[in-house]
Amino acid sequence: MNIMKEKTVFIKGIYNYCNRWCERCQFTENCANNNPGDSFNLVKNGSGNNGEDSGNAVENENFDAILDLFEFIMNETGIEMEVIPLEVNDTSGKLPDMKKMMKHPLYMQAVTCYDMMMDWQNNNRIVFDEIYLEEIQKKMPVDEKFKGAMEVIRWNRTVLLSKTYRALSDESDSAKVIMTDANGSLKVVLIAIDDLFDAWCKLLSILPEAENNILDILQHLTILKDQIRVKYPLAEKFKRPGFDG
């Protein structure tokens, strides 16, 4: 009896409009970025079964791994590093003006939000240690609500930078056309902002003494969201491959 292995059906471009949190994604089997073995074969053969060239997926995966390492080092050591642009949408064959984009109001606001979240975490390490220590001494599992909120914050704060930068590297007229890369990238940013908002509200219920700082962060996240909606009014209508049908 011959059992034929079912071919993996990749969703074209799905990895361009996600937050790269593969562990929590329901489409990992359909993503070339999450299947390096299959992606290698596709690159070697030229394209996938849906005609998609997957070479960029493999390169993106390796690049993201390096960026994740930088993020880990920054979080664990508290070292402040210059903000690194995480993604570039280079469809024209020429690199975008990095200095110009990093001075763009949207990117500067994303950096402000990121810095505020990093500063809050670094300034409250003692509080975190006390929470974890108390749970350990009581031989109880760490508060899942607290742990989950921090995981969401650590992950999505970087999404603000990477996807905002990617959006600003797209020179197409994103204000008039829904299906452009900029609108797709900024839709991911808007979703990340909503997730961050929920996470910070959960932390506020756990740490009411941090109300002023947390409300300040929420205010700046709201400013970023409003700026995106004004500058890119069609971003929320973008249909992400796989995620939005």
pLDDT in tens, 182-218: 999 999 999 999 999 999 999 999 889 999 999 999 9
pLDDT band at 49 (very low <50, low <70, confident <90, very high): very low
- What is the structure's pLDDT at 106? 94
Q: What is the mean pLDDT of the segment spanning 63-91? A: 48
Q: Rounded to an integer, what distance in angstroms lies between the CA atom of residue 57 and that of residue 39?
A: 7
- Asked, for residue 3, whether it belongs to a domain, the answer is no
pLDDT band at 140 (very low <50, low <70, confident <90, very high): low
Say which residue, 204 or 71, is predicted with more confidence. 204
Q: Which of 81, 105, 129 is the last residue of a domain?
A: 81
Q: SS3 of 129, please?
A: helix
- Asked, for residue 88, whether it belongs to a domain, the answer is no
- Asked, for residue 213, whether it belongs to a domain, the answer is yes
Domain identity same for 139 and 47: no
Domain identity same for 43 and 101: no
Domain residues for the domain of 176 are 94-240
- What is the structure's pLDDT at 172? 62
- What is the structure's pLDDT at 53? 42
Mean pLDDT over each residue of the chain, to the nearest integer: 75
Q: What is the mean pLDDT of the segment spanning 126-141? A: 62
Q: Please give the single-letter amino acid code of residue 230.
A: V
Number of domains in the chain: 2
- What is the structure's pLDDT at 65? 45
Q: Which of 53, 81, 109 is the last residue of a domain?
A: 81
pTM over 0.85: no
Inform me whether the pLDDT recorded for 42 exceeds 50.
no
203, 214 Cβ separation under 8 angstroms: yes
Inform me whether the pLDDT recorded for 66 exceeds 90.
no
Q: Which of 34, 59, 81 is the last residue of a domain?
A: 81
Q: What is the mean pLDDT of the segment spanning 32-59? A: 47
Say which residue, 151 or 8, is predicted with more confidence. 151
Place of tokens 């505020």: 116
- Asked, for residue 49, whether it belongs to a domain, the answer is yes
- Asked, for residue 1, whether it belongs to a domain, the answer is no
The closest of 2, 164, 190 to 86, measured between CA atoms, is 164
Domain identity same for 103 and 180: yes
